[in-house]
Amino acid sequence: MKKQLVLLILVLWQFSALAQSAGDKAVFTTYYHDNGKVSSEGYLLDGKPNGFWKTYYPNGNLKSAGNRKNFELDSLWQFFDDSGKLSLEINYRAGRKQGYRVSHLSNETIREYFDNDIKQQLTTHYDTSGSLLLSVPFVNGLEEGLARRYATDGRVIELMTYKKGFLTEREKINHYDADSLKHGLWKSFYDDGVLQSEVLYKHGLKHGFAKEYDRNGNLKNIEKYVDGVRQEGAEELSRLELRRDYYPDGKIKVEATYRNGVAEGVRREFGEDGSIEKAYILKNGKLFAEGIMSENGQKQDAWIEYYPDGKVKARGNYLNDKKTGNWEFYYPGGQIEQQGAYDKNGQLTGKWIWFYSSGQRQREESYRNGLADGLSTEFEANGKIITQGEYLEGMEEGYWLYDYGDYREEGDYQRGLRTGLWKDFYPNGKLAFEGKFIEDNPNGEHRWYWPNGLKKEEGQYIMGRKNGEWKKFREDGSLFLLINYTNGIERKYDGIPIPENEQVNPD
Question: Exposure pattern of 295-312 as b/e (b: 16+ CB <10 Å)?
Answer: eeeebbeebebbbbeeee
Closest CA to 149 of 167, 169, 132: 132
Question: Exposure pattern of 240-254 as b/e (b: 16+ CB <10 Å)?
Answer: eeeeeeeeeeeeeee
Residue 174 CA to residue 151 CA, distance in Å, equals 9
Judge whether 132 and 118 are in contact, CB under 8 Å: no
At 3, phi and psi to the nearest 5? -65, -40
Judge whether 396 and 409 are in contact, CB under 8 Å: no
Q: What is the pLDDT of residue 241?
A: 84
What is the separation of C-alpha 468 from the centre of its chain, rounded to a whole number of angstroms?
A: 28
Q: What does CATH list as the number for 2-169? A: 2.20.110.10
Closest CA to 503 of 141, 143, 106, 30: 141
Residue 148 CA to residue 158 CA, distance in Å, equals 6
pTM for the predicted model, two decimal places = 0.53
Give the residues of the chain that fall short of pLDDT 70.
1-24, 232-239, 495-507
Q: Where are the alpha helices (DSSP H) in 391-462?
A: none
DSSP string of 141-173, one letter each residue: TEE-EEEEEE-TTS-EEEEEEEETTEEEEEEE-
Question: Exposure pattern of 329-360 as b/e (b: 16+ CB <10 Å)?
Answer: bbbbeeeebbbbbbbeeebbbeebebbbbeee
AA letter at 133: L
Closest CA to 29 of 7, 55, 10: 55
DSSP string of 274-288, one letter each residue: S-EEEEEEEETTEEE
Counting beta carbons within 10 angstroms of the beta carbon of residue 378, is it exposed (0 to 12), middle (13 to 18) or buried (19 or more)?
buried
Q: How far is CA 70 from CA 18, 23, 51, 119, in A?
A: 12, 12, 8, 24
Q: What is the pLDDT of residue 236?
A: 38
Q: How far is CA 49 from CA 19, 29, 71, 153, in A?
A: 10, 9, 6, 47
Residue 306 CA to residue 284 CA, distance in Å, equals 13
Residue 186 CA to residue 176 CA, distance in Å, equals 10
- The size of the chain, in residues, is 507
AA letter at 49: P
Q: How far is CA 138 from CA 39, 141, 189, 398, in A?
A: 37, 6, 20, 32
Judge whether 146 and 159 are in contact, CB under 8 Å: yes
Q: How far is CA 344 from CA 298, 326, 383, 453, 479, in A?
A: 14, 11, 33, 54, 63
Residue 338 CA to residue 361 CA, distance in Å, equals 9
Residue 377 CA to residue 252 CA, distance in Å, equals 52
- For 263, residues 6+ apart whose C-beta sits below 8 A from its C-beta are 256, 257, 282, 285
Q: What is the pLDDT of residue 426?
A: 92
Residue 280 CA to residue 254 CA, distance in Å, equals 11
